[in-house]
């Protein structure tokens, strides 16, 4: 007997729950937004410039002494953090004042200071980014996220109807804001890798929504007399096994990466895990029910026929 | 859907086999790899610096510096051209470099036209058409000439300087003996240097961060010390700081520069301390001999990157065309200077604006952890799929394996680099492939529940799911392309794998699985489906 994560022929009234879901979504988004505004992201050197060093010591160093020694280099307050184990310390220093090359001189000074004071110290990873480059990386990142959203909206509009585009983007904004809120809450470092994760979350969450939207469109054509609420419930229920199976499989793979994978991708995988949970939630409860609020009409489905047939040929 | 024409079967498997062949070199040892004849696929997928350790440095030149260097070389051109012309040297005064232009005044007004036409000939036209690298105009003062580099001239100068800088950097890095460095220009004023497996990035940065412009200039002994103390140098002279402390006034015009060096080595001076020896080419040697003969008894300054290293007296003419620089060097710093002088000066100053260095141990740890995690992830996915979909799950897992190998094959052949975000991209691609199969299988289940027959269910399942898969993956491709175009560094590596992976996962998860299912249905003709 094959395994079934979701029993056959479920009939859960998702549409009925939509006001609770909307309230929850709104609360989550506002909460995450507030966290972002008040606590802020722990932006990595990619975005604010400065330097990060992952240093491996032979003995666990006394953090206060170490901080003192790093601070004496004289470029501002250092932030120290254990990374994986107590012999590995992540040292963060802010962007020094002065011209573009200044941050490199700090790298040299810190290296020398540590090598003099600690025997057998090793620099596992050094990243330094100047102010100009970090500004560019921010701009690039914002463009990448913004344009992805825009093209997603345009594509869904073109393939479906405008209200699918709107509902999808609303749900995606929620996914992205909540994921970033998580980073504000945990103060995990937000760097370029996390932007890649956010973009991937957009991709996956999108997948979920397109699958459900596709089914709604198909059912709109199939059951012309059925009430729109019923059609949406039917479509979400029909695709539920797939939605759950895909998410569970991905989560299984990601959790393996989270706990067994290299420390460097911890933030990335954490973002992905959360993003998939949030994305699955918003696909099931939010984006499709939002169509009702946006006023999807039976009539619209009729005009859809010609386009959908063309689509079938492609598939 | 059971109908799979022969050509389709053949071309499908041909594609798979081709990609597997491309992936094959990755599994071979270097010794075996050497046996493969040229023309067959033999390129391995290179690992990114984050995986095998190494340094990634981004260097940037300031456009303003290039403009300044351009003006300085214009100064040389002006002086050179006007000095050696028929009818004797044309005397000029008030030469200055200000506000991005060069101005000077010709003393003998009668020769102004001759001077301008000489300069017109000496400055190069750019490409075809009327574009020139500089504009030459008369100033408001009689006899004054203004030379302004044009925008096109500055762009060409930046371009030339950067191309030259890449060559100089290559020479310097080769001197360090590092393996397979990557040195590429990025944008207008940047150069990215990637050196795998480097133990000491500080040595590399020390070599790249220095311009190494060596000049020999006469010391201006006639300068008024009081004027100098106030920062005012006599016309034709300039004030430089000395490495030994204090200031030295030197003539602006260099007797000779490092451009004419042919060799430079570490040596020891008369006190046994490390020093750097150098040798000029024949023209340089002659000029050095002449200048030292004419100035016996006077001091001259050895200047490196605008800093006076030492200012010895010329005790006797230096005729051999070689010399020695000493001044508080350790063996290491002397060696560094020798390398710098050998590889020539950088046409512009370069600054390290981004560094990402990963130690080799961390790289190895990351690979190990990455592999273990991937194996567990793949086992988890395969287990779930087979438990849920039985035979169809097995097909999906086979397709997944082919998928991963195809991605590796295409990436090896296309010369991409596998980075850590790339591995993450691969895991997500596996997700996309899994999703395609889940969509198909769930649809088949659904059709079965509606009471359709085996063949009809499978057919509808593939047909209906294909449309959704197509929609979803087109969108993902769009996102991946945007990531590639706008993302930087890790995001790009991630996007490359994702784009290739989406294409291969649709191919393997839809086409190959369909072929396997079709074969099974045709051969076994099952009465019921267990899915």
For chain B, the average pLDDT equals: 84
Of B60, B384, B489, the CB nearest to A192: B489
Pairing mode of beta strands B54-61, A189-190:
unpaired
Q: Which pLDDT belongs to residue B406?
A: 93
For residue A10, being part of any structural domain is answered with no
Residues of A in contact with B58 (CB under 8 A): 133
Which of A90, A108, A129 is the endpoint of a domain?
A129
Q: What's the pLDDT band for A302 if we cut at 50, 70, 90?
A: very low
Give the model confidence (pLDDT) of B377-388 as tens digits.
888 889 999 999
Give the helix ranges, DSSP H, for B209-297.
Answer: 225-229, 282-294
Residues of A in contact with B442 (CB under 8 A): 239, 241-242, 245
- Asked if A312 has any chain B CB less than 8 Å from its own CB, the reply is yes
- B6 pLDDT higher than 90: no
Task: Name the most confidently modeled range: A286-290, B136-140, B367-371.
Answer: A286-290
- Provide the chain A residues 230-289 that lie in CB contact (below 8 A) with chain B: 238-239, 241-242, 245-246, 248-250, 252-254, 256-257, 259-265, 268-269, 272
Look up the pTM and report it. 0.77
Give the model confidence (pLDDT) of A103-125 as tens digits.
778 888 888 888 888 888 888 88
Q: Find the distance separating the first CA and the last CA of chain A, reported in whole Å.
A: 31
Q: What's the pLDDT band for A313 if we cut at 50, 70, 90?
A: very low
* Residues B421 and B520 placed together within one structural domain of the fold: yes
Residues of B in contact with A256 (CB under 8 A): 373-374, 376-377, 380
Q: Pick the residue of B64, B373, B391, B445 with the most A CBs within 10 A to test the interface with A by mutation.
A: B373
Q: What's the pLDDT band for A307 if we cut at 50, 70, 90?
A: very low
Q: Across-strand partners of B355? A: A128, B57
Of B365, B376, B377, the CB nearest to A262: B365
Q: Pick the residue of A54, A143, A154, A210 with the most B CBs within 10 A to test the interface with B by mutation.
A: A210
* Residues B72 and B162 placed together within one structural domain of the fold: yes
Whole domain around residue B464: which residue ranges? 6-29+37-48+359-524
* Residues B374 and B436 placed together within one structural domain of the fold: yes
For residue B530, being part of any structural domain is answered with no
For residue A300, being part of any structural domain is answered with yes
The CA R_g of chain A, rounded to the nearest whole Å, is 24
Q: Which pLDDT belongs to residue B130?
A: 64
CB contact (8 A) between residue A140 and residue B366: no
- A306 pLDDT higher than 50: no
- pLDDT mean over B126-152: 79
CB contact (8 A) between residue B202 and residue A257: no
* Residues B126 and B234 placed together within one structural domain of the fold: no
| Angle subtended at Cα B83 by Cα B78 and Cα B84, rounded to the nearest 5 degrees | 110
CB contact (8 A) between residue B483 and residue A199: yes
For residue A268, being part of any structural domain is answered with yes
- Spatial neighbors of B375 by CB under 8 A, at least 6 apart, are none
Of B420, B463, B471, the CB nearest to A265: B420
CATH number at residue A75: 3.30.70.60
Shortest distance, CA B5 to any CA of chain A (angstroms): 18
- pLDDT mean over B247-253: 87
Q: Give Cα separations from A93 to A265, A312, B250, B330 (angstroms).
A: 21, 56, 41, 31
* Residues A158 and A293 placed together within one structural domain of the fold: yes
Residues of B in contact with A126 (CB under 8 A): 201, 355-357
Whole domain around residue A87: which residue ranges? 50-129
Select from B517, B515, B521, B522 the least CA-distant residue to B10.
B515
Shortest distance, CA A233 to any CA of chain B (angstroms): 16
CB contact (8 A) between residue B373 and residue A261: yes
Give residue for tokens 């190069």. Answer: B124
- pLDDT mean over B343-372: 83
Q: CA–CA separation, B10 vs B17, rounded Å?
A: 10
Q: Which pLDDT belongs to residue B126?
A: 67
Q: Which pLDDT belongs to residue A303?
A: 46
Q: Which pLDDT belongs to residue B159?
A: 87
CATH number at residue B421: 1.20.1640.10
Give the model confidence (pLDDT) of B29-69 as tens digits.
777 777 777 777 778 888 888 878 888 899 998 877 788 87
* Residues B365 and B507 placed together within one structural domain of the fold: yes
Of A3, A107, A210, the CB nearest to B468: A210
For residue B531, being part of any structural domain is answered with no
Q: Sheet holding B92-98: strands in order across?
A: B92-98, B101-106, B144-149, B134-138
- A315 pLDDT higher than 70: no
- Provide the chain A residues 19-48 that lie in CB contact (below 8 A) with chain B: none
Residues of A in contact with B202 (CB under 8 A): 108, 111
Which of B331, B356, B381 is the endpoint of a domain?
B356
Give the helix, strand, coil percentages of chain A, each rounded to 5: 70, 10, 20
Closest-CA residue of B relative to A196 is B491
For residue A6, being part of any structural domain is answered with no
Look at B94 and A237; give whichever has higher pLDDT.
A237
In three-state secondary structure terms, B104 is strand
For residue B89, being part of any structural domain is answered with yes
In three-state secondary structure terms, B149 is strand
Q: What's the pLDDT band for A283 if we cut at 50, 70, 90?
A: very high
Q: Which pLDDT belongs to residue A309?
A: 44
For residue A276, being part of any structural domain is answered with yes
Q: What's the pLDDT band for B360 if we cut at 50, 70, 90?
A: confident
Count of domains forming chain B = 3
Give the model confidence (pLDDT) of B83-106 as tens digits.
777 777 888 877 888 778 888 888
* Residues A281 and A181 placed together within one structural domain of the fold: yes
CATH number at residue A230: 1.20.1640.10
| Beta-sheet strands, E only, within B220-295 | 237-241, 247-257, 261-268, 274-280
Which of B330, B356, B382 is the endpoint of a domain?
B356
Structure tokens at A251: 């989560």
Residues of A in contact with B376 (CB under 8 A): 256, 260
Q: CA–CA separation, A286 vs A155, rounded Å?
A: 20
For residue A4, being part of any structural domain is answered with no
Look at B231 and B390; give whichever has higher pLDDT.
B390
- B180 pLDDT higher than 60: yes
Q: Which pLDDT belongs to residue B295?
A: 87
């Amino acid at each position: 007997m094959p395994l079934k994560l979701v029993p056959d022929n479920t009939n859960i009234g998702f549409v009925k729950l939509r006001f609770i879901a909307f309230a929850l979504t709104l609360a989550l988004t506002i909460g995450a937004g507030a966290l972002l505004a008040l606590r802020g992201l722990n932006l990595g050197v990619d975005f604010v410039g400065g330097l990060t060093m992952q240093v491996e010591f032979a003995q666990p160093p006394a953090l206060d002494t170490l901080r003192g020694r790093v601070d004496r280099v004289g470029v501002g307050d250092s932030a120290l953090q254990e990374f994986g184990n107590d012999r590995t310390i992540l040292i963060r220093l802010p962007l020094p004042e002065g011209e573009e090359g200044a941050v490199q001189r700090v790298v040299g000074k810190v290296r020398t200071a540590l090598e003099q004071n600690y025997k057998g110290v090793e620099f596992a990873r050094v990243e330094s980014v100047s102010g100009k480059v970090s500004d560019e990386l921010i701009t690039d990142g914002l463009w990448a996220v913004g344009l992805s959203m825009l093209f997603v909206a345009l594509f869904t509009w073109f393939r479906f109807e405008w209200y699918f585009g709107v509902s999808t983007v609303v749900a995606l904004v929620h996914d992205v804001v909540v994921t970033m809120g998580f980073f504000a809450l945990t103060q995990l470092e937000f760097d370029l890798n996390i932007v890649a994760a956010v973009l991937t979350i957009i991709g996956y969450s999108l997948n979920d929504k397109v699958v459900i939207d596709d089914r709604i469109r198909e059912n709109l054509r199939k059951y012309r007399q059925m009430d729109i609420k019923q059609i949406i419930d039917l479509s979400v229920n029909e695709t539920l096994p797939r939605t759950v199976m895909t998410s569970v499989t991905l989560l299984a793979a990601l959790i393996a990466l989270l706990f067994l994978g290299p420390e460097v991708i911890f933030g990335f995988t954490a973002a992905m895990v959360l993003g998939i949970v949030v994305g699955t939630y918003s696909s099931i409860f939010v984006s499709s029910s939002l169509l009702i609020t946006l006023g999807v009409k039976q009539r619209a489905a009729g005009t859809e026929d010609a386009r959908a047939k063309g689509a079938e040929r492609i598939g | 859907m059971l109908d799979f024409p022969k050509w389709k079967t053949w071309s499908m498997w041909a594609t798979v086999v081709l990609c597997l062949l491309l992936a094959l070199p990755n599994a071979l040892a270097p010794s075996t790899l050497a046996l493969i004849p040229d023309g067959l696929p033999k390129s391995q997928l290179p690992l990114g610096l984050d995986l095998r350790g190494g340094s990634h440095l981004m260097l940037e030149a300031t456009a303003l510096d290039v403009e300044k260097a351009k003006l300085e070389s214009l100064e040389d051109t002006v002086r050179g051209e006007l000095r050696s012309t028929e009818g004797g040297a044309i005397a000029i005064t008030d030469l200055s470099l200000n506000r991005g232009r060069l101005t000077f005044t010709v003393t003998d007004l009668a020769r102004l036209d001759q001077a301008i036409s000489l300069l017109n000939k000496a400055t190069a036209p750019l490409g075809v058409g009327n574009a020139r690298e500089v504009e030459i105009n008369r100033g408001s003062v009689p006899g004054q000439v203004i030379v302004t580099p044009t925008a096109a001239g500055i762009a060409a100068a930046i371009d030339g300087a950067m191309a030259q800088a890449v060559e100089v950097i290559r020479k310097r890095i080769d001197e360090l003996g590092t393996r397979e460095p990557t040195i590429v220009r990025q944008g207008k004023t940047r150069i990215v240097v990637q050196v795998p497996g480097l133990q000491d990035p500080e040595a590399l940065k020390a070599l790249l961060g220095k311009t190494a412009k060596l000049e020999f200039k006469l010391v201006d002994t006639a300068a008024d010390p009081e004027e100098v103390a106030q920062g005012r140098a006599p016309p034709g002279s300039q004030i430089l700081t000395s490495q030994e402390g204090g200031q030295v006034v030197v003539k602006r015009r260099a007797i000779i520069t490092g451009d004419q060096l042919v060799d430079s080595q570490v040596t020891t001076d008369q006190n046994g301390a490390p020093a750097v020896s150098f040798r000029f080419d024949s023209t340089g040697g002659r000029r050095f001999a002449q200048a030292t003969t004419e100035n016996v008894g006077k001091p001259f300054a050895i200047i490196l990157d605008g800093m006076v290293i030492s200012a010895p007296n010329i005790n006797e003419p230096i005729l051999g065309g070689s010399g020695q620089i000493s001044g508080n060097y350790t063996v290491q710093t002397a060696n560094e200077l020798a390398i710098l002088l050998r590889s020539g000066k950088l046409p512009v100053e370069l600054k390290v604006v981004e560094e990402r260095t990963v130690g080799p141990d961390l790289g190895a740890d990351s690979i190990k952890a990455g592999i273990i995690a991937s194996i567990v992830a793949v086992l988890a996915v395969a287990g779930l799929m087979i438990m849920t979909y039985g035979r169809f799950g097995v097909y999906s897992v086979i397709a997944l394996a082919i998928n991963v190998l195809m991605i590796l094959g295409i990436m090896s052949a296309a010369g991409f680099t596998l980075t850590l975000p790339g591995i993450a991209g691969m895991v997500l691609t596996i997700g996309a492939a899994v999703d395609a199969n889940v969509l198909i299988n769930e649809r088949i289940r659904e059709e079965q529940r509606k009471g359709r027959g085996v063949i009809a269910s499978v057919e509808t399942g593939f047909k209906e799911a294909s449309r959704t898969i197509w929609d979803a993956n087109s969108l993902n491709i769009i996102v991946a392309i945007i990531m590639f175009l706008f993302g930087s560094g890790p995001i790009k590596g991630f996007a490359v794998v994702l784009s290739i992976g989406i294409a291969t996962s649709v191919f393997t998860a839809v086409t190959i699985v369909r072929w396997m299912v079709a074969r099974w249905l045709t051969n076994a003709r099952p009465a019921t489906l267990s899915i």
